[in-house]
Amino acid sequence: MAMRTAVRRAATRPGSLPASLASLAEKLLTPHGVDRYLELVDPMLVRREIRGEVVALRRPTRDSVTLTVRPSRAWRGFAAGQFVRVTVDIDGVRRTRCYSPAGSAHRDGELEFTVKAHEGGLVSRQLHEHGHVGMVLGLSPADGTFALPEPRPDSIVLIAGGSGITPVLSMLRTLVDERYPGEVSLLYYARTPADVPYAEELDALAARRGVRIHVRHTASDGRFTAEHLRRVAPWFARATTFLCGPPPLMEAVRALYADAGISERLHTEEFVPPVLTVGAAETGGRIRFARSGVDVVSDGRPLLEQAEDAGLSPEHGCRMGICFSCTQRKVSGVVRTASGEESAEDDEEIQLCVTAAVGDVEIDC
């Protein structure tokens, strides 16, 4: 791995022969650029964009799929816990969703994604039902602040539920690869034994020195309690905790940490977009998308959705306020963000996916 990285760096050092050739090729193939020609030969040859080819695929539970993906040369690795924006083509339209690689950050020559198929979900179902070896996905660089800090904390608690296993499993696998000397405990919730992806691997990891893993089945053991946590990590109050799971689990753990006065030791990742609430009295404002010359009446939903319903296609990624791809300039008016804050500043940059109009708003988009 280290060698491959070294070779990759040399290939792109400015002034080197390959770099001069690449720049000549770009000049010859203007205005479209080299990638637009290379991809016609093989979509994985692209130099600037990141793509990933599915090289293995299995369905560990009834409603999930695990994809092993080999990224193209522009991939620059990730920190355990981060996410990647994955793009798939569905009936001609590109759809992008965030997925957290579940593998060790030290083995980034192959990425592993485990995706839970949501009923009525567009991308997760596409991957679950139509994913296949050889499929090419669009990838973004890894992103997000939910990641193992450097230097590593002395002891670590990982709490996850359902598909939220992925970022914390990546952390656990990374720590094991590093021969992490501290204590690490994983508390994982799934509905039934049949709903646990990685069951065998979790057993194997639990046999490692310093690693403790408890898998709880909510159908029989009930939901999260402080007792569950104390069993697997009696020392949790002095550890650093990483939490990812469905909203009820997140709330219960947050409440416990708040009561214990250790909220600052808790790091969280949400997979589900926050719900935007604009009071009924505040809908009905006029939203003007100035550059497109389109006007709509606000129904209180995020500006991104309203723009799309009006036939516009603003750029976006995560649709939940993480990636900032949907940032546009608000010329005037008041908007409310998902956290409930209102902002009336003119000419401010707003994220269309997590803001709603309060009254008349004009956006330069």
Ligand X SMILES: Cc1cc2nc3c(=O)[nH]c(=O)nc-3n(C[C@H](O)[C@H](O)[C@H](O)COP(=O)(O)OP(=O)(O)OC[C@H]3O[C@@H](n4cnc5c(N)ncnc54)[C@H](O)[C@@H]3O)c2cc1C
Query: Which residue from 319, 330, 335, 362 is in contact with ligand FES, where contact means CB under 6 A?
Result: 319
Q: How far apart are CA 78 and CA 103, in angstroms?
A: 10
Q: Is 72 in the site for ligand X (CB under 6 A)?
A: no
Q: Which of residues 105-164 bind ligand X (CB under 6 A)?
A: 114-116, 118, 120-125, 144, 163
Q: Are 46 and 139 in contact (CB under 8 A)?
A: no
Tokens, residue 351: 């994220």
Shortest separation between residue 36's beta carbon and another protein, angstroms: 6
Residue 252, contacted partner among ligand FES, another protein, ligand X, none, CB below 5-8 A by kind: none
- Beta pairing partners, 91: none
Query: Which residue from 51, 116, 128, 316 is in contact with ligand FES, where contact means CB under 6 A?
Result: 316
3-state secondary structure of 86: strand
Residue 120, contacted partner among ligand X, ligand FES, another protein, none, CB below 5-8 A by kind: ligand X
Q: Is 90 in the site for ligand X (CB under 6 A)?
A: no
Q: Is 166 in the site for ligand X (CB under 6 A)?
A: yes
Query: Which residue from 46, 54, 88, 98 is in contact with ligand X, where contact means CB under 6 A?
Result: 98
Peptide bond into 31 cis (omega under 30): yes
Q: Is 57 in the site for ligand X (CB under 6 A)?
A: no
Q: How far apart are CA 151 and CA 162, in angstroms?
A: 29
Q: Are 163 and 271 in contact (CB under 8 A)?
A: yes
Cβ neighbours for 142, distance < 8 A, ≥ 6 positions apart: 76, 77, 78, 79, 82, 83, 84, 101
Q: What is the DSSP string of 324-342?
A: -TTEEEEEEEEEEETTS-E
Q: Which residues here bind another protein, judged by CB under 8 A?
A: 24, 27-32, 36-37, 40, 89, 91-96, 293, 313
> Closest Cα partner for 186 from 128, 171, 266?
171
Q: Is 335 in the site for ligand FES (CB under 6 A)?
A: no
**Nearer to another protein among residue 38 and residue 237 (C-beta):** 38
The footprint of ligand X (CB under 6 A) covers 83, 97-100, 114-116, 118, 120-125, 144, 163, 166, 269, 271-272, 318, 320, 322
By CB under 6 A, name the binding residues for ligand FES: 316-319, 321-326, 351, 353
